[in-house]
């Protein structure tokens, strides 16, 4: 109930409704494909979209707790850690494009639009959660520190996407399977110098995410041209 209350607070209601609508349409399209083809092949998109909501929930809870406490606390640190662990799940859906083969088949364009719909929704979910966390950091440490935090979070998130797509780890493996995670990351670190492509992916994906976030961040600071902002004399002459 608390999460629903946070969803529909005055300052978050509009983006929440838009994201809920986009998620509902995405799920409906996946279900329609399942019914039409009798194949559960793309059912994983629903699960991935659910995971994409988790970082936003953690970010909302972290912001709400920080506002109540007025300072960072252990609980806030736990919520922020949960956000960081699940943050890669939001943009991860972009990599589901790999499920489209290079050959043309009957449902190719439908599946392309379906994955893009889910991927864009997941991307915005992740960016909104990042925006909320950045605003907290900006309030505590200042604007410059908040952008350092943003770049670091995107970098870590991109590495997390790499771990999920190529090494097949999940966010919860940090807790339930830390030994294998540590061993495989150590192996990758040792051999990454011999496999430039494995380094290129997280770096390029981080660049993509940072530029995409920066553009959407800039849009949030676009001042609308209200009629009241036009001088009265000009309004009269133009009328």
Per residue in 138-177, pLDDT (tens digit) is 999 999 999 999 999 999 999 999 999 888 888 888 888 8
H helical segments located in 142-172: 143-165
Q: Where are the domains of the chain?
A: 2-222
- Computed from CA positions of residues 61, 62, 65, 66, in that sequence, does the dihedral angle turn out positive or negative? negative
Q: What is the pLDDT of residue 236?
A: 44
Task: Give 238's pLDDT tier (boundaries 50, 70, 90).
Answer: very low
Show the CA angle centred on residue 124, arms to residues 111 and 215, nearest 5°: 110
User: Model-level pTM?
Assistant: 0.88
Q: What is the pLDDT of residue 235?
A: 46
Q: Give the SS3 label for residue 221.
A: coil
Q: How many Å apart are CA 111 and CA 117, to the nearest integer?
A: 10
**Residue 37 scores a pLDDT above 80:** yes
Average pLDDT over residues 171-195: 79
pLDDT digits (tens, 9 = 90+) for 47-84: 999 999 999 999 999 999 999 888 889 999 999 999 99
> Which tokens in the block code for residue 95?
């990599």
**Residue 21 scores a pLDDT above 90:** yes
Q: What is the pLDDT of residue 239?
A: 40
Q: What is the pLDDT of residue 226?
A: 62
51 Cβ neighbours under 8 A, 6+ residues apart: 86, 89, 90, 92, 171
The string of DSSP codes covering 37-68 is: H---TTTHHHHHHHHHHHHHHHHHHHHHHHHH
> Which tokens in the block code for residue 37?
């083809």
């Amino acid at each position: 109930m608390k999460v629903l209350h946070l969803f529909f607070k005055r300052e978050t209601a509009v983006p929440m409704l838009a994201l809920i609508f986009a998620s509902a349409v995405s799920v409906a399209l996946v279900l329609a494909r399942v019914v039409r083809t009798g194949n559960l092949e793309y059912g994983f998109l629903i699960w991935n979209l659910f995971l994409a909501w988790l970082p936003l929930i953690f970010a909302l809870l972290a912001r709400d707790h920080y506002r109540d406490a007025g300072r960072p606390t252990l609980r806030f640190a736990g919520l922020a850690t949960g956000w960081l662990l699940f943050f890669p799940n939001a943009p991860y859906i972009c990599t589901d494009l790999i499920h489209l083969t290079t050959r043309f088949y009957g449902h190719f364009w439908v599946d392309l639009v379906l994955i893009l719909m889910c991927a864009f929704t997941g991307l915005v979910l992740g960016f909104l959660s990042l925006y909320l966390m950045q605003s907290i950091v900006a309030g505590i440490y200042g604007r410059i520190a908040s952008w350092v935090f943003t770049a670091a979070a995107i970098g870590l998130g991109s590495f997390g996407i790499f771990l999920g797509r190529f090494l097949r780890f999940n966010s919860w493996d940090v807790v339930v399977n830390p030994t294998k995670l540590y061993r495989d990351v150590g192996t990758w670190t040792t051999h990454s110098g011999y496999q430039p492509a494995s380094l290129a992916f997280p770096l390029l994906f981080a660049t993509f995410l940072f530029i995409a976030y920066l553009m959407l961040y800039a849009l949030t600071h676009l001042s609308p041209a209200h009629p009241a902002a036009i001088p009265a004399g000009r309004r009269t002459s133009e009328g």
